[in-house]
Structure 1
Amino acid sequence: MSDNAYSRTEIVGSSETGIDDAIRGAITRASQTLDEIGWFEVSEIRGEVHDGEVGHLQVTLGVGFTLRDTKP
């Protein structure tokens, strides 16, 4: 069994339609540049209000991923 090292970064997803869309969009986008994403956690949810209605939502995520070996 090999030992792994992990890193955690923070990203923010946004959506006009819902929290789930904000999370999924953020993870999809992060997956384009981060390999081996293994987990996420929601640390903050914010919303914008326009004329008494919920407008835009932002979700802050902690994203964990496995670090790759740099040796050939």
Structure 2
Amino acid sequence: MQSLHLRDEFIKLGQALKAAGLVESGVEAKEVIQDGLVKVNGQTDTRRGKKLYPGDIVSYNGEEIKIEN
């Protein structure tokens, strides 16, 4: 599991996937999220703009990201 450290209060789901290097672009992030391939805290989430806060865990394609301060 890799950690993603926040610069602000939150990060949006699409931005987090891109920042962690799990997708190449915002367009790819949008597609995998809308296709239901991404989970936030164990629940499928199809909102690219979903706000992630410290403690949230994102899962995609066998990889996990933990959001931290």
TM range (shorter): 0.3 to 0.5
The structure richer in strand per residue is: 1
The structure with more radius of gyration:
1
Task: Identify the structure with the greater helix proportion.
Answer: 2
